[in-house]
Structure 1
Amino acid sequence: MLRLNEVKLPLDHDEAALTGAVLARLGIGADALLGYTVFKRSYDARKRSAIVLIYSLDVAVADEAAVLARLGHDAHLAPAPDTSYRFVAGGAQAAGASRAERPVVIGTGPCGLFAALILAQMGLRPLILERGKQVRERTVDTFGFWRKRELNPESNVQFGEGGAGTFSDGKLYSQIKDPKHYGRKVLTEFVKAGAPEEIMYVSKPHIGTFRLVKMVEQMRANIEAMGGEYRFESKVVDIDIAPGEGAGQVRGLTLAGGEHIATRHVVLAIGHSARDTFEMLHARGVYIEAKPFSIGFRVEHPQSLIDNCRFGPSAGHPILGAADYKLVHHAANGRSVYSFCMCPGGTVVAAASEPGRLVTNGMSQYSRNERNANSAIVVGITPLDYPGHPLAGIALQRELEERAFALGGGNYDAPGQLVGDFVAGRASTAFGSVTPSYKPAVHLTDLGPALPEYATAALREAFPAFNKQIKGYYQADAVLTGVETRTSSPIRIKRRDDDLQSLNTRGLFPAGEGAGYAGGILSAAVDGIKVAEAVALAMASA
C-alpha cells in the first residue's frame, strides 16, 4: 500500500475526478490501480472563491516497487505507514501474574475511559471509579441545572461518566506528537462504539454531545464484557501511601462511604476540575506544582457571519459545514490573547461544579446547526500571576468564578456584555442582533471587574485587532459571557518520563487533563493509552 499526499481537487469534484487524479499522479493505467481509500481529507479556503479539497490516500497498485522506483523524487509518495495498534509487551504477562490484584482507574473521562479499555483488552480487569453518575443520569442533572438553576456538585458538566468532553463540541483532533499512531486507535474505537466513520479521515473530526453519550455507554458495555467493573457515585476521598526511601508506594484508596480498596496501581484520570481531590493529594504529600492556564470570556457571533468570512460564496456547502476559526493577538502589556474551544453552530453552557461559583463552556451537537458560533477568548496566565503555593491557581479560579456569580445576580445567570460596550468600558443595557444561548439566562452588566486588570486590558485591545484577521469579527453587538476559567488544569501532578509514575509515589499514574498532560478529548484519550501500557509493564514486573 502506498500513501499519496497532496492530491488537490475543486470542492465540487466527482469520484471519477479523484480516481483520475490518482492515475495521473502515479502515471499508471486504470488496470494497474487495485483500489484506494481516503486516509485524510482537508480543505484550503485561503481563496474563498476557489476552495480546494486536499486528500491523503492509501493506494493499492499492481507493481508497488516499480511505481516507487519511478517516482522516488515525489516527496508526497511513500509506503503507507502501519497505523494498527499493538499491545505493549508484558500485558499478557501482567494479566497472568496479577489475577488477585486489579488496577484501579479513577475517572471516566476520555483519559480514564481509554486507560480502562486498554487494561481490559489486555485482560487486567480494571476497577473504574467515578464520583459522578452514569452518563444518561448525569445528562438529566446537567440539563436540569440549566433549566432550574439546581446544581448537583457531583453530577454536572465537569463530573460524571464521559468527563467534561461529553458537553463540548466533541473535537477529535490534536497537535500532539503521535509516532505510535495512538490517535488512530482512539478513532477506531470510537467508530466501533457508534461514531460516524468520517472521523477517520476528515481533517477536523467532531462528534457532538448526543452522539458521545451513546458511544460512552457502548464503550462501558465493552469494558464490562472484558472483565472491567464500573462503580458510579464512588468518590475517592483518601489515598493510602506507604512511606519509602525516595518515594512512597500506593497501598489503597478510601471512598466517601468509608470503603477501603486495596491496590498498588492507580490511574489518576480525575479531570481538570477535581479541586477537592487535588487538595487531598497535596495533603498526602503527592508532588504537585502550579502550571499555566488561561482565563477569559465566551463570545458569540452569528454563525452565518463566520461562514461568510471563512468560505465566501461556498458558505453552507455540506462538505465544509459550519466554519470555525483560530485567532491570536499579542497585546501591548505582554499578554497573549487567543481563541480556545471554538464551537461552530453551538451554545454557551453553564459549567459550574461548585455552589456559588459560575463558569462557562461551549458545546455543539454533531449537526452544528445552532444560530450562533461561540468560542472562549482567553488570556494566558502563569504561576507568576498566582505565586506562593502549588494550588494557588485553584484559589484564583474560585475567586473569579465567585465574582462572576455575583455579577450575574447570584442565581447562576451569567454576567454578559456586548463586545462594543466591553471595549469602550461601559455597561450594557440591551441586547442587539445577537441573542445569547447561555441558560438559565444572561444578565447584562459591566464585565470589566470580572477579571484581573491585565486580562481586561489585553482583551479590550484584542477584539478590534481580531477584525484584521476576520473582517466583521469586531461586531459591536456580539455577546460576551463570563467567565471561562477551566481552560486547562491549574496544576501538574508530575510523573517520571520512563514509567509515567508520580515523581514521589510509586503505583500512582497521573494522567490526562487533570494531571496536566493533555488538553482535549483526543490527547487525553491518547494519554490514557500510554498510561495503561505503563501500568501493564509495572504489574508485569511487580
Structure 2
Amino acid sequence: MLRLIDLKLPLDHAEGAIEAALLARLGLQPGELRSFKVARRAWDARRKSDIHLVYSIDFEVADEAALLRRAAGDPTLARTLAPQPEQDYRHVARAPGAGWKRPVVIGTGPCGIFAALILAEMGFRPIILDRGKVVRERTKDTWALWRRGVLTPESNVQFGEGGAGTFSDGKLYSGIKAPEAMSRKVLTEFVAAGAPEEILFVAKPHIGTFRLVTMVESLREKIIALGGEYRFGTKVTDFVIETGRDGTRAIRGVVTHAGETIETDHVVLAIGHSARDTFHTLFDRGVFVEPKPFSIGVRIEHPQSMIDRARFGDFAKHPILGAADYKLVHHGANARSVYSFCMCPGGTVVAATSEEGRVVTNGMSQYSRAERNANSGIVVGIEPARDYPGHPLAGIAFQRHWEERAFAAGGGDYRAPAQLVGDFLAGRPSTALGAVIPSYKPGVTPTDLSLCLPDFAVAAIREALPAFARQIRGYDLADAVMTGVETRTSSPIRIRRGADCQSVNTRGLFPAGEGAGYAGGIYSAGVDGIRVAEAVGRAMAGLAVAA
C-alpha cells in the first residue's frame, strides 16, 4: 500500500469527498482504486475563517508501479506520496525453553504495562510489582483526597495501577520519533482494551480518566492470561546488586517492604517521576543518576467558551473540533522559558500530591471534555546547573520546598493557593474569587502565589501572560484563576542507560519511562515500555542489540 499526505478538505465535507479528492489528486479512475482508509485526520485553524481538515490516506491501486512512475514526473504528487509505513508489530524474541529467571517490572503506569505486556507476549511471564493498589481501589483513595482532604501516601494520583496518567486528559500524542509499528501497537492495544477507535487516526487523540480506568483493568487481565503475575501493595525498598572481580555490577534481585527478596537478573524500572524514595535508594546503591531539567509553575483556568472562540471563531463548538486546546511559549527577558503544559480542554484541576504536608496540582479531563473551564499548566524551565547545583538529587529537594510552601499558603489542609490573574499581574494578593470558578478540590485559598514560586518564575510568568493574550484574546482575563503549584512536570533526574537500554553501570537494570527520564506522557511512556521490553527480551534470549 501507499500513503498520501496533506489531502485538504472542508470541515463539513460531504460523504464520499475523501475518495473523490483522493482520485483527483492521484489522477485515477474509480476502478483503479482498490481500497483506502484514513491514516490520520488533523485540522488546520491558522485562519479562523477557513478551518479545514487535513488527511493522510493509506490506499491500494491496481497498478502501483504506473502510479509511482507518474509521480516521478510530478513534483507535487511525489512530495505527498510514499510507501505505507510498516504497521504490524512483530516481537523481537521468544523466551528460551529453560535457564532463566523471570523478569521483574516495577510500576504499572503505561510504561510498566506495555513492558509487561510485550514480555508476556514473548513468553517471559514477568512479575509486576506496584507499591499502590488496583485501579478501582486507588480511585477511591484519590477521591478521598479530593473530597475530604485525606491523603493515602501509597495510593493516590501518582501511585497505583495505571500510574499518574490515569488521572489526566489521557492524551495520546507526542513529539517522539518511534517506528510506526511500535506506536501503532500502543494505540491498537488501547482500542482492544476499550478506547474509542478514533484514536487510531485523529491527530490529537485522547481518552479521558473514566475510560482509562476500565482499559487498565482490561490490559491487566490480558497480561495475567499470558502468564504475568501482579503483586500490588508491594513496595521495592532495595536492590540486590552483585559486583564482579572486574568491577562490573549486575542486578541479582529486588527486596520488598515485607523483607522478601525476589531473585531476578532483569529489572524494568518503570517507577514514574514521583518515586522519590526509590530514586534515593538507587543513588545509595551506586546506580548512575544525574540531574535533569524540569519545570515549575501553576495551573491556569479560563472559561472554555472563551478559548473556543479565540481559537475557532464562528466554528467554535463544531463537533469535529470539540473543545479547543492551545500550545503557548514565551522566552522571557530573564532568559527563562515559559510554556503551557498538559493543557486540558473542558477539564478540572486536581490535587496530585503523593506526600503529606505538600500541595501539587495537575490537570484532568473526561473523554467528553465538557466541563466549564479550560486549564493548563503555565510553567517555567528549571535548569540543574543554574537553579540547584550540586547533588544529583537536589531537584527533589527543590520540588519539595515549593510544594511545602504551597501547602502552607493554601491553609495546611490540602487546599491549594490560588490567585486571580489580575491580582497576580498587579502584584497584590487575592482576597476573593471572581467570575471564573476554580475546579480544584478539596478547594482553594485566595492568596499571593509569589509565596510559593521562585522569584524568577513569578517574573517570567508575569511577563508571559500578556504575551499569551496577544495569541489568545482574553488570556490575561483579570478573573482567570491561577492555582499552585505545578512541580511534577517531569522527573528531576535521569537514570542514564546505554544503547541496550540497560543502566550504564548496572547490568540487568533497565531504566524506563518518565521516572527514568525517557518519556513525557502516556503515549511516549507506552512506546518506551515496548522499547525496553524488546531490549530485555533480546538480553534474555542472548540476541545482539538492535541496530
- Contact residue 86 and residue 180 of structure 2 kept, 8 A: no
Q: Partners in 1 of 2:248 and 2:173 — Cα distance?
A: 36
Q: Residue 398 in 1 paired to residue 400 in 2?
A: yes
Q: Secondary structure at the match of 2:218?
A: helix
Residues 421-500 of structure 1: matches in 2 within 5 Å? 421-497=423-499, 499-500=500-501
Alpha-carbon shift at residue 168 of structure 1 (Å): 0.4
The residue type equivalent to 1:192 in the other structure is: A
Residues 94-105 of structure 1: matches in 2 within 5 Å? 94-98=95-99, 100-105=100-105
RMSD value over aligned CA atoms?
A: 1.0
The residue type equivalent to 1:214 in the other structure is: T
The residue type equivalent to 2:86 in the other structure is: D
The residue type equivalent to 2:240 in the other structure is: D
Alpha-carbon shift at residue 79 of structure 1 (Å): 2.1
Alpha-carbon shift at residue 246 of structure 1 (Å): 4.0
Alpha-carbon shift at residue 101 of structure 1 (Å): 1.2
Percent same amino acid at aligned positions?
69
Alpha-carbon shift at residue 16 of structure 1 (Å): 1.7
- Contact residue 292 and residue 383 of structure 2 kept, 8 A: yes
Residues 124-523 of structure 1: matches in 2 within 5 Å? 124-179=124-179, 181-244=181-244, 245-384=246-385, 385-497=387-499, 499-523=500-524
The residue type equivalent to 1:413 in the other structure is: R
The residue type equivalent to 2:234 in the other structure is: S
Structure 2: state its 5+ residue gaps: none
Moved over 6 A (4+): none
The residue type equivalent to 1:531 in the other structure is: V
Residues 97-116 of structure 1: matches in 2 within 5 Å? 97-98=98-99, 100-116=100-116
Q: Secondary structure at the match of 1:486?
A: coil
Query: 146-155 or 17-26, which moves further after superposition?
Result: 17-26
Q: Secondary structure at the match of 1:395?
A: helix
- Contact residue 272 and residue 490 of structure 1 kept, 8 A: yes
Output one character per residue of 1:198-222: Cα deviation in whole Å (capped at 9) or x when no partner: 0000000000100001111000000
Q: Secondary structure at the match of 1:362?
A: strand
Q: 1:81 aligns with which of 79, 82, 85?
A: 85
Q: Secondary structure at the match of 2:158?
A: coil
TM-score, structure 1 as length reference: 0.98
Q: Secondary structure at the match of 1:31?
A: helix
Q: Partners in 2 of 1:57 and 1:8 — Cα distance?
A: 11
- Contact residue 68 and residue 78 of structure 1 kept, 8 A: no
Residue 40 of structure 1 is matched in structure 2 by 40
The residue type equivalent to 1:302 in the other structure is: P
Alpha-carbon shift at residue 180 of structure 1 (Å): 5.0
Output one character per residue of 1:255-305: Cα deviation in whole Å (capped at 9) or x when no partner: 111111011100000000000100111111111011100000000000001
Q: Secondary structure at the match of 1:59?
A: strand
Output one character per residue of 1:353-389: Cα deviation in whole Å (capped at 9) or x when no partner: 0000000000000000000000000000111201110
Q: Partners in 2 of 1:28 and 1:539 — Cα distance?
A: 51
Residue 53 of structure 1 is matched in structure 2 by 53
Q: Partners in 2 of 1:474 and 1:452 — Cα distance?
A: 21
Q: Partners in 2 of 1:247 and 1:43 — Cα distance?
A: 53
Q: Partners in 1 of 2:29 and 2:503 — Cα distance?
A: 57
Q: Partners in 1 of 2:180 and 2:291 — Cα distance?
A: 30
Q: Secondary structure at the match of 1:254?
A: strand
Q: Partners in 1 of 2:395 and 2:30 — Cα distance?
A: 61
Alpha-carbon shift at residue 35 of structure 1 (Å): 2.0
- Contact residue 345 and residue 369 of structure 2 kept, 8 A: yes
Residue 536 of structure 2 is matched in structure 1 by 535
Q: Secondary structure at the match of 1:506?
A: coil
Alpha-carbon shift at residue 71 of structure 1 (Å): 2.1
Structure 1: state its 5+ residue gaps: none
**Count of aligned pairs between the two proteins:** 537
Residue 10 of structure 2 is matched in structure 1 by 10
Alpha-carbon shift at residue 247 of structure 1 (Å): 2.8
TM-score, structure 2 as length reference: 0.97
- Contact residue 403 and residue 450 of structure 1 kept, 8 A: yes
The residue type equivalent to 1:412 in the other structure is: Y
